[in-house]
Amino acid sequence: MLHAITRLAHPGATIAMSRFAADHPEYITGTKTGPWRMQLPLGGFDVRQDGAALLVEASGVNPIGLSYMKLIFVDHIREYLAEEVELHWDGDGQSHGIPPFFRETRVTASRRLTPSMQRVTLTVPDLQDLPLDELHVRLLLPPADRPANLPPVWPMLTASGALSFPGGADALLVRVYTIRHVDLARGEVEIDFVLHPTAETSAARWAATCRPGDVAGLLGPGGGAIPQAPRLLLLGDETALPAIARILEATSPGTRCEAIIEVNGPEDEQPLAGPVEWLHRSGAAPGTTRLLAEALGKRHPSDDLYVWAGCEFDAFRDIRRHVRSIWKLPRDRHMVAAYWRRGVAGEMAEEPHHSSAA
């Protein structure tokens, strides 16, 4: 296990940490004034008050795990403090430079899977060193008009453990995607892109037009653990189809698993490793139906149920309300996420995830 320590002296630090903990009871334990502990498969951190400051000890099972823990802490504490505080970490692991979970990848193949889905294969150096149980990556696309002789500028770790992204002419298009398939022997991953109509520069457009040899950056995988429970109910539109497909492939034989997936029509269905109820929009614009919420309303909760969902923002709100307010499933028995938001480009799909409680 690797360790690193930092001390955060800031008048709002305790309140910020207690709000961070209150918003994530599924990961963080502790009282309102600490100490707090977060434990994830790749590492964790312990936080306690030290006079007017917070003492933070991050640990990781390897350099990637430790780097993730520093990043999770600094990103969240900055968000809750609404201030770019700087941290200094002592101990193991690097605190600046190329993140250990970054890879520069190249396209090796691209093919149309269904009318609305493009599968892109990327070759990833040292793939075996990445946490491949995690589902999601941040895809980094260099500016489309960048001259071929000008290499992309990739994000770097700062001394605080945060990520610093290039701006101006070097700015990257950053989007979250799911690793659909890993081929360790070939050192390749596959990502399935929904080909939604878009007038601007977008990852969907890149996927539709990319050629072998094209360069893309990957941060991760990280976040999006495969849920474990005796009974799983998985819901999503086509953006979550790759994640649902991977979850179905990873579930143990005893798991009772049911998936409900919204696509445009039968032509966009895919053979998956478990039972699926396919819902058809039949020409309605993506993100405008209530098909997923209505299908959920026909199911019933049970004590051993875990609900996993990924979809457009309005559907996400409907599903989360149903699961939390009507079914009253505790936080550790569901994961409902907005994967995209109608009319909003980029990573802004989710509501700010912290509560307004002081």
Ligand X SMILES: Cc1cc2nc3c(=O)[nH]c(=O)nc-3n(C[C@H](O)[C@H](O)[C@H](O)COP(=O)(O)OP(=O)(O)OC[C@H]3O[C@@H](n4cnc5c(N)ncnc54)[C@H](O)[C@@H]3O)c2cc1C
Residues that bind ligand X in the complex, under the rule CB under 6 A: 136, 175-178, 192-194, 196, 198, 202-204, 224, 239, 242, 286, 339-346, 349
Q: To 5 degrees, how large is the angle CA 223–CA 59–CA 66?
A: 55
The burial of 6, by beta-carbon neighbours within 10 Å (0-12 exposed, 13-18 middle, 19 or more buried), is given as: buried
Shortest Å, Cβ 336 to ligand X: 12
Considering the complex, state which of residue 154 and residue 177 has its C-beta at the smaller distance from ligand X: 177
Q: Which is nearer to ligand X, 28 or 263 (CB)?
A: 263
Contacts of 214 (CB under 8 A, 6+ apart): 106, 107
**Least CB distance to ligand X at residue 125 (A):** 22
DSSP string, 303-329: TTEEEEEEEEHHHHHHHHHIIIIIS--
Which of 254, 271 has the CB closer to ligand X?
Answer: 271
Taking the complex as a whole, the smallest distance from the CB of residue 194 to ligand X amounts, in Å, to 3
Hey, what are 300's tokens? 């019933």
Least distance in angstroms from the C-beta of 155 to ligand X: 17
How far apart are CB 217 and ligand X at their closest, in Å? 15
Q: What SS3 state is found at 264?
A: coil
Say how many C-beta atoms besides its own lie within 10 A of residue 232's C-beta: 23
Closer of 53 and 215 to ligand X (Cβ): 215
Question: What 8-state DSSP symbol labels residue 178?
Answer: E
Distance of alpha carbon 78 from alpha carbon 287, whole angstroms: 32
- Give me the least distance between CB of 289 and ligand X, in Å please: 12
State which residue, 74 or 120, has the beta carbon closest to ligand X. 120
Q: For ligand X, give the closer residue by CB, 88 or 342.
A: 342
Which residue, 46 or 190, has its beta carbon nearer to ligand X? 190
Least Å from the CB of residue 198 to ligand X: 4
Distance from chain centroid for Cα 128:
20
Which residue in this structure is represented by tokens 């989710």?
350
Cα 233 to chain centroid distance, Å, stands at 19
Query: By the 8 A CB rule, do 330 and 358 touch?
Result: no
128 touches 184 (CB < 8 A): yes
State how far the Cα of 300 lies from the Cα of 306, in Å rounded to an integer: 12
Length of the chain: 358
Helix H segments across the chain? Answer: 13-23, 63-81, 203-209, 241-250, 291-297, 313-321
Q: Report how many helices (DSSP H) and strands (DSSP E) the chain contains, helices first.
A: 6, 19
Pick between residue 333 and residue 341 the one whose CB is nearest to ligand X.
341
Closest separation in Å from C-beta 34 to ligand X: 30
Query: What angle do helix axes 63-81 and 13-23 make, rounded to 10 degrees?
Result: 110
Question: Which of 283, 343 has the CB closer to ligand X?
Answer: 343
The CB-of-196 to ligand X minimum distance in angstroms stands at: 3
